[in-house]
Structure 1
Amino acid sequence: MKVCRLAFSPLSHFKRRSFASHFSSIALSLPDEPIDNSNLKPRFTPLPSLSPNLDLRLTTQLHGYLTKLGISNTPPHCNQLITLYSKHHVPLHARNLFDEITEPDIISFTSLISCYTQNHLHRDAFFSFRFMRDQSVRFNHFTLPTLVKSSTASTDLLMGTQIHAIATVAGLDLNVYVANSLITMYAGFGLLNLSRRLFDDMPERNIISWNGLLAGYVGNGKFEEAINLFRDMIIEGLKPNEHGFSCLINACTDFGDLESGLAIHGFIIQLGYDSDPYTVNSLLNMYAKFGDLCAAEIIFENLAKPDIISWNVMIAGCVLHEQTSRALQLLKNMRICGIIPNFLTLSSILKACAGYGDVYLGRQIHCYLIKTDLSLNLYAGSGLVDLYAKSGHFEDSIQAFDSMEDRDLITWNALISGCSHNDKHEETLSYFCKMREDNCDINRTTLSAILKSTAALEAIINTKVIHSLAMKLGFLTDPHVVNGLINSYGKCNVLKDAAQNFDECLIDDVMAFTSMISTLSQGGQGEEAIRIFLNMLRKNVRPDTFVFSSLLDACSSLSAYEQGRIIHALVVKTCFMDDTFVGNALLDMYAKCGSIEEATSAFDYVPEKGVVSWSAMIGALAQHGQGKTALELFQKMVHQGIMPNHVTMTSVLYACSHTGLVDEGKKYFESMRETYGIEQTQEHYACMVDLLGRAGKLSESKELVNKMPFKANAKIWGSLLGAARLHGDPLLGELAAQQLSYVEPDKSGSHILLANLYASSGMWDSVSHTRQLMRKWGIKKEPAMSWIETKNEVHTFIVGDRSHARSREIYAKLEELGEEMAKMGYVPMVEEVLHDLGRKEKEELLSQHSERLAVAFGLISTPEGSPIRVKKNIRICKDCHVALKFISKIVSREIIVRDVSRFHHFRDGNCSCNDYW
């Protein structure tokens, strides 16, 4: 029999030289003549060198050739062919081949089980093991780890524990290969105690044992245990491999421990793993996510040949920390180096474009994605949806979304957040419903975007639906969702539900407290806001600048001066005085509580005075009747190079209006566009109408209204009506009131002002007719209310109020003051009373106005000589204005009244407004 020494003829038809070379190891042992199976058993050798490189076509050709030789059903050849088919993901071929084996051995079964495991056919792997045992074929320490791996991959803990039991009975449970697989399995199920027990019981451990437990600790968030295990490795003289180091670095990244990461980096350098791509990429990721892009760049530049992962990590890190230009430069360098970007690269670049607002580059990337068939990729598609949504190209965002074949949570969130961001609130709710129909999960990002839209729409029913859904899915412990609910309830003006939601959530989070305090403050519930703040302090939650700003707003709305001073002390104690945001809030609080001196002091302390600070101070001075000082401050602001905005100019015009500076007001109004490039708004025109009207220039005021470039709003007509009342012009008053009723048909202000105008003109029939119309249309006068704070408690009064605990003392004080005022020449202005009553009843009614009750209470409950601060929800009446001037002289105390229009400082029988109000 001839034996071919160099090659054999049946392989001559294979053209690939590589394939022939793979057969060189068996060429010497295969005959070039047909084999007589009856007389000769063929000699053969295993085929280990074929496994890594043969593609599927060559594998099937080899299979065919071995079949032709009649040796394809022998275990050694079959076992290796099964392994090859497994690697090519054709388990059916492997199974058919296995069935041809006459007497499968342990290697045959193990190869088949491994094939099923690698191809995710875990049930078939378990059935094959059962069949193996039925055939009385013994398993070994290579069979069991494969089955354990199948249990882990199929999340079948029961099967895994059964395999563990079989291993224990067979005495293989502490075998290093079996135990390593069990450690990984139990860690994957979160049973770290079992993993640790196995690890400790192992008589022999290898580096895979340590890495398996290490990965288990990291994967289950046990960062401290992972670091301790790493220390134990070092103590035992073991050197972690690249996988262990990579796992540790990733843990330091995930748990925000840069210090430990730096120490581990030192070990990596010491042990020479700083050139390993796997480890280096983990280091790049750590430094990039911690924001140390310089360190990341040094590592990156020292790489001999960065791979696609290295480039992606660097680009993603730059995008994460808003280093958009660096990210784009890296993309350019990547292309120069011949590295083709993948969908992860382009997803990061799309994020950069979204953050940078570069739609042009985004469209170029979109074209590239279409050209390379990556546009349908989930990551890239979601990036496109997000880019177009954030840049305001909503229709393009919808088109990108619709073109995607598959959508996940990130895609839906990008679209829904984009709708909300672009104020497409109806569409937000519509797409959320479609998302639910698509059976897609939701997260806090989804709920936060939806709640932003329900708040904007003031949709209370939808808010309650989302509240129920958040409760069902367990999101009421998430501060972002709770804040969204609080804000939405607040915007829907259901503050009770907002407070209840906050109390039920039991979140001791500064963000939640800030949201609740801000919502209550904006909703006029200042007392409740302060209560929440006190509760916050009791829970040892440290307030931040936003909490203090919201609290100071609450004190401002209540004119709670004493409580505001306490908050100021806490601001100083917590070292927030250097914060501009808080400084502006302090300025506003003191100004609205009537202390212009302390407001000025707060302004002086603001570290970086911007246009907001200057505008607030100018407005405060104007409201307190210091118009000339306000204008001087405005000139100082301009000289310092601070450009005014529309708010500043409103305050300047207000100062002119309430000080009677007509010429100056006209000059500033005309200079807005010419000097400062500010277009006049309705608010500015309202100030000018008020300025001219107060000065008695009614014709000029009316002419300005007629010449405005837009339709007059309620504020403008209200200013004209107020001027008509002030100067007794019923015809102009009727015109303004009629127009005002068209703009605000449900408000009582215009009707009350008109009735007062008729009353002051002696037109009592018209007064009666106006009141009848109010009753007919169901328009109710807003009840006058006044507030005063004493001993950190806010007291509220209404006209004729006798519900206060000290009512007897209050009315006794008013009677005493009335007698003193009468001696000084005070005569009640009974024409201010619109009711059809006798003079005595009208005088009594005037004496019981809410601001007088509040002042009387202040006189009997505050230290002698201290200022009295009162807030009123509507304009102070003429009679009370006169009366409070008398009272200030009698008691020798300053009385500060903040009404809906301005501040009145009553001192020694005079008012800061100089009766120009």
Structure 2
Amino acid sequence: MIIPINHVNNTHFPFTKIHSLFRLLSSNTNSLYQCNSKITRCFRNGDIKAALNVFDKMPIKNIVTWNCVISGYVKNGMLVDARQVFDKMPERNVVSWTAMLNGYAKCGRLDESRTLFDAMVNKNVVCWNAMLSGYVTNGRIDEARNLFDKMPEKNMVSWATVIEGCFSQGLVEEAMKLFNACPFEDVLINNAMLAGYAEVGDFESMWRLFDKMRVRDVASWTTVVRCFTKFGKMVMARKLFDDMPTKDVIAWTVMIRGYLENNQIEEARKVFDEMPSRDIVAWNSIMGGYVKNGSVEEAVEIFKKMPKRDVVSWNTILQGYVQENDMVKARMFFDKVPVKDRTTWNIMICGFQSDEALKFYVQMLRNRMKPDQVTFTGLISVCGSLAVHSWGKAMHSCVMKHAYVNDSTVVSSLISMYSKCGYMDDASLIFDTTIKKDTVSLNAMIVAHSHHGSVSNAVKLFSSMTESGCQPDHLTFLGLLTGCAHSGMVNESLKYFKSMEKNWKIRPTAEHYACMIDVLGRRGMLTEAYELVKHLPVELPSYTWETLLSCCRVHENFELGELVAQKLDDTRDLNAGICVLRSNIYAARGMWADAASVRTSLARRGVKKELACSWIELKGRVFRFVCKDRSHVQLEELHKMLESLCAAMEIYG
């Protein structure tokens, strides 16, 4: 405010009003700053409702306020809402445009991002870099290079972004050409090259460049440390970390995460305890490490000691309880979470393999929290596990409404759900109409064919998969081996099993060995199955031994059955099913005293065999059947139908 000089000596000039005006302006500025900060904080914690409540009550809003809301929506994946706010803004600046560009790029909607970019009248280098970063992040390096060449002005960020993009696509020579052509000699460009060499595992070039660098900042050192931790070279990483002239909290956290990624939880804890100061990322990292390691109680102790907690902290402990399948504790902890974001709800939805997941979904919507692909993947998985087709169809409609029909994980969950519900035509239709068929969706279809006994279709799909250059993984072979096991195709099983390491460099896991034991056991090749078990390079879960024990009973190989039973004794994982199997083997051999002894031991320990249960959905209702249950109102008709089916099975062999 400018006061005319001729009014200064005027005794009638209202100085008190000027003072009041200054106080009002100062108060409004402070209030705006506080409100904008609160909106940002609420969005960061996933509390959308609270953020909008602050925004709606603000009497004065500046351009920063509107940008805070746009950025908040973008960070929470709510792009439609962000665009609505963007369109309503009374004025926009470069931050507004860049936030929307980044939002579209983050969601992979680059065509919309480019349309918005082209509509901008005054583009500065920050806007160009945002569009460039969008192309690089989504792997569209050709378009990134084309845009980079058209840029009227390039800064160091532009060069660093396109260099990193070339490395991410394996274009090492192209990245080196750009590096040599770069007019800037700066640590940022060198760090981009270091990160690139680290990305492709070129230790020699990385180390040579690092050694030549005249100026190294903490990011340079941290990048090299991160490279060594990524490839499991923890001794070298630690030596380099100790040699660092200065360390920031990011460097310390990289070292902690390196140890965690290499399953060295105790070493990670030592580094954590050595940290001179810790931010919330470091606390969350070590806590997440304990959860991943299955040490949830230790994670809880860390949680209790934290000076500050964010939504990630709460979600980490919640994930730990779900991971241990302790849904009672998970529910109690969920109720205590002060601010729930989408991840919080998703953890609970994916944790419950029952209709409880659907109840949480309804609560999620009532809390104005929008679902994402993780939400729908979890819900569809529940519908498939329960084989409730009507619920699955309802979820499919929701997926279409929220435009996730081309998401790979959602597509694979839909294929799996329809196949488990017995609707293979619908599963095939979804697969055939999928635009981009990747390993995830192909695996889902291979598993679907295998479970339905269509092993030939699964094999054909595998052949077309490899011919198209799509890389199979562990799940691909698990699907093939399962199908071969159910169809008794021993030779084919052995062929695929041997090809895993030989042709595809995939080391078989316990699940793959379990499939092989199953297929050999089903065909009565029990000695071969037992020999395979004895020479395994991995530890088998007890259910595999239980499968072999069951095969011994079916094929009346009681001697081997006794050996397997003794092996199960060593695992100390004796459930009721195993004990009953063992008792039946003794009874079949006429060893009644031993059979009775096993049953008596079972009763003494208070272990009860879970009742067999099956269910079927009909016209939206789920009918449940329990072994020896005679309470069903249509029991007589059901028994007649069952007898008819058994007779038909005998006729068709």
How high is the TM-score relative to the length of structure 2?
A: 0.70
Q: Matched residue of 2:238: which SS? A: helix
Q: Is 1:496 aligned to residue 496 of structure 2?
A: no
**Within 1, Cα distance between the matches of 2:563 and 2:395?**
47
Offset of residue 585 of structure 1: 1.1
**Within 2, Cα distance between the matches of 1:328 and 1:188?**
49
Q: Is 1:366 aligned to residue 207 of structure 2?
A: no
Q: Is 1:453 aligned to residue 278 of structure 2?
A: no
Amino acid at match of 1:583: V
Q: Is 1:784 aligned to residue 611 of structure 2?
A: yes
1:463 aligns with 299
2:107 aligns with none
2:557 aligns with 729
Offset of residue 681 of structure 1: 5.8
The 1:779–1:506 alpha-carbon spacing in structure 2 relative to 1, beyond 3 Å, is same
**Within 2, Cα distance between the matches of 1:192 and 1:742?**
66
Higher helix proportion, which one?
Answer: 2
**Within 2, Cα distance between the matches of 1:223 and 1:606?**
36
The 1:592–1:251 alpha-carbon spacing in structure 2 relative to 1, beyond 3 Å, is closer
Using the aligned pairs only, state the percent identity.
Answer: 24
The 1:645–1:493 alpha-carbon spacing in structure 2 relative to 1, beyond 3 Å, is closer
2:318 aligns with 486
Q: Is 1:426 aligned to residue 266 of structure 2?
A: yes
**Within 2, Cα distance between the matches of 1:887 and 1:733?**
36
Amino acid at match of 2:586: Y
1:313 aligns with 157
Picking from 761, 764, 767, the partner of 2:592 is 764
**Within 1, Cα distance between the matches of 2:376 and 2:202?**
37
Offset of residue 757 of structure 1: 2.2
**Within 2, Cα distance between the matches of 1:263 and 1:572?**
29
2:569 aligns with 741
| Count of aligned pairs between the two proteins | 567
**Within 1, Cα distance between the matches of 2:573 and 2:68?**
67
Q: Matched residue of 1:455: which SS? A: helix
How high is the TM-score relative to the length of structure 1?
A: 0.52
**Within 2, Cα distance between the matches of 1:322 and 1:398?**
29
What are the Cα deviations for residues 265-296 of structure 1, in whole angstroms up to 9, with x where unaligned?
Answer: 64x9xxxxxxxxxxx76676666566696697
Q: Matched residue of 1:788: which SS? A: strand
**Within 1, Cα distance between the matches of 2:504 and 2:148?**
46
2:277 aligns with 439
The 1:708–1:508 alpha-carbon spacing in structure 2 relative to 1, beyond 3 Å, is closer
**Within 1, Cα distance between the matches of 2:424 and 2:514?**
25
The 1:221–1:384 alpha-carbon spacing in structure 2 relative to 1, beyond 3 Å, is farther
RMSD: 4.8
**Within 2, Cα distance between the matches of 1:775 and 1:536?**
44
Q: Matched residue of 1:526: which SS? A: coil
What are the Cα deviations for residues 84-115 of structure 1, in whole angstroms up to 9, with x where unaligned?
Answer: xxxxxxxxxxxxxxxxxxxxxxxxxxxxxxxx
1:475 aligns with 310
Offset of residue 367 of structure 1: 1.6
Q: Is 1:590 aligned to residue 425 of structure 2?
A: no
- 8 A contact 2:67–2:95 mirrored in 1: no
The 1:782–1:447 alpha-carbon spacing in structure 2 relative to 1, beyond 3 Å, is farther
What are the Cα deviations for residues 825-858 of structure 1, in whole angstroms up to 9, with x where unaligned?
Answer: xxxxxxxxxxxxxxxxxxxxxxxxxxxxxxxxxx
Q: Where does the alignment leave 5 or more consecutive residues of structure 1 unmatched? A: 1-140, 142-168, 194-215, 226-246, 269-279, 304-309, 802-806, 818-858, 860-883, 891-906
Q: Where does the alignment leave 5 or more consecutive residues of structure 2 unmatched? A: 3-12, 35-60, 70-91, 103-112, 136-142
Amino acid at match of 2:356: E
The 1:223–1:704 alpha-carbon spacing in structure 2 relative to 1, beyond 3 Å, is closer
**Within 2, Cα distance between the matches of 1:913 and 1:430?**
69
Picking from 499, 509, 523, the partner of 1:695 is 523
- 8 A contact 2:163–2:193 mirrored in 1: yes
**Within 2, Cα distance between the matches of 1:708 and 1:420?**
27
Picking from 452, 456, 469, the partner of 1:631 is 456
The 1:729–1:414 alpha-carbon spacing in structure 2 relative to 1, beyond 3 Å, is closer
Q: Matched residue of 2:355: which SS? A: helix
Offset of residue 665 of structure 1: 5.0
- 8 A contact 1:517–1:530 mirrored in 2: yes
2:228 aligns with 388
Offset of residue 566 of structure 1: 1.9
Q: Matched residue of 1:578: which SS? A: coil
The 1:298–1:739 alpha-carbon spacing in structure 2 relative to 1, beyond 3 Å, is closer
Q: Is 1:553 aligned to residue 385 of structure 2?
A: no
Offset of residue 355 of structure 1: 4.0
The 1:263–1:683 alpha-carbon spacing in structure 2 relative to 1, beyond 3 Å, is closer
The 1:701–1:362 alpha-carbon spacing in structure 2 relative to 1, beyond 3 Å, is closer
The 1:768–1:449 alpha-carbon spacing in structure 2 relative to 1, beyond 3 Å, is same
Amino acid at match of 1:638: S
Amino acid at match of 2:310: F
**Within 1, Cα distance between the matches of 2:273 and 2:260?**
14
Offset of residue 770 of structure 1: 2.0
Offset of residue 500 of structure 1: 4.0
Q: What are the residue-to-residue correspondences of 1:594-743 with 2, within 5 Å? A: 594-596=422-424, 598-624=426-452, 626=453, 629-635=454-460, 637-638=462-463, 641=467, 646-662=474-490, 683-699=511-527, 701-702=529-530, 714=542, 716-743=544-571
Q: Matched residue of 2:552: which SS? A: helix
Q: Matched residue of 1:658: which SS? A: helix
Q: What are the residue-to-residue correspondences of 1:879-894 with 2, within 5 Å? A: 887-889=641-643
- 8 A contact 1:692–1:698 mirrored in 2: yes
**Within 2, Cα distance between the matches of 1:579 and 1:502?**
28
The 1:738–1:287 alpha-carbon spacing in structure 2 relative to 1, beyond 3 Å, is closer
What are the Cα deviations for residues 491-519 of structure 1, in whole angstroms up to 9, with x where unaligned?
Answer: 2433334334444446564444333322x
**Within 2, Cα distance between the matches of 1:549 and 1:223?**
32
The 1:249–1:717 alpha-carbon spacing in structure 2 relative to 1, beyond 3 Å, is closer
**Within 2, Cα distance between the matches of 1:340 and 1:738?**
69
Q: Which has the larger radius of gyration?
A: 1
